[in-house]
């Protein structure tokens, strides 16, 4: 596939960046992926529906992390995802935790718009919950880019009201 075909397939949101390891250039659509702390627990849920995953997750949080429920603040981890095969922690400046570690900019150069060459504004990337789509559907909520906490109790309380 030539570059024009790739741009057409990727639409207006194509970003160009290079691998820091081998210099290989990438052209990819990027988005932000928010992962609620402990949301991977839904892998253990027998009910595969969105409401089933949400109920399982809420019960898990209430049982194991009551402080998050009471504070109405479940931590959110942020990742940069993209096609094809990009999945890295968001850059350090945008993470809510101070854990040392690698992130997108450890492995890649800063992305620039494939058409204009303008640098990526991380805050303007779309937010998509792509890892646990049933939980996302059940929750019916997406955070703003780099929001640090999810108001889980408020979301649940207002959904029932």
Lowest mean pLDDT among 28-32, 93-97, 147-151, 155-159: 93-97
Which candidate, 148, 134, 137, places its Cα nearest to that of 78? 148
What pLDDT, on the 0 to 100 scale, is given for residue 64?
Answer: 98
Instruction: Give the tens place of pLDDT for each residue, 71-100.
Output: 999 999 999 999 878 999 999 665 555 666
DSSP secondary structure letters along 102-144: --HHHHBPPPEETTT-PBP-GGGS-B---SSHHHHHHHT--PP
- How far apart are the C-alpha atoms of 87 and 120, rounded to whole Å? 17
Instruction: Give the tens place of pLDDT for each residue, 10-58.
Output: 445 899 999 999 999 999 999 999 999 999 999 888 777 888 999 999 9
Mean pLDDT along residues 114-137: 94
Q: What percent of the chain stands above pLDDT 90? A: 73
What pLDDT, on the 0 to 100 scale, is given for residue 159?
Answer: 76
pLDDT at 156 over 50: yes
Q: How much is the mean pLDDT over the chain?
A: 88
- Claim: this prediction has a pTM higher than 0.75: yes
| Residue bearing the bigger pLDDT, 107 or 50 | 107
The domain segmentation of the chain, as residue ranges, is: 3-160
């Amino acid at each position: 596939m030539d570059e024009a075909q790739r741009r057409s397939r990727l639409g207006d949101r194509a970003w160009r960046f290079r691998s820091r390891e081998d210099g290989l250039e990438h052209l990819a659509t990027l988005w932000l992926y928010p992962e609620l702390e402990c949301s991977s627990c839904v892998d253990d849920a027998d009910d595969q529906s969105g409401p089933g995953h949400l109920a399982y997750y809420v019960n898990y949080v209430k049982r194991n992390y009551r402080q998050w429920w009471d504070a109405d603040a479940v931590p959110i981890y942020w990742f940069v995802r993209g096609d094809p095969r990009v999945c890295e922690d968001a850059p350090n400046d945008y993470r809510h935790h101070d854990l040392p570690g690698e992130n997108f900019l450890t492995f890649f150069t800063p992305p620039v718009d494939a058409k204009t060459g303008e640098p990526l504004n991380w805050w303007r990337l779309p937010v998509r919950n792509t890892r646990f789509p049933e939980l996302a559907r059940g929750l019916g909520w997406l955070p703003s880019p780099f929001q640090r906490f999810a108001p889980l109790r408020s979301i649940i309380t207002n959904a029932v009201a």
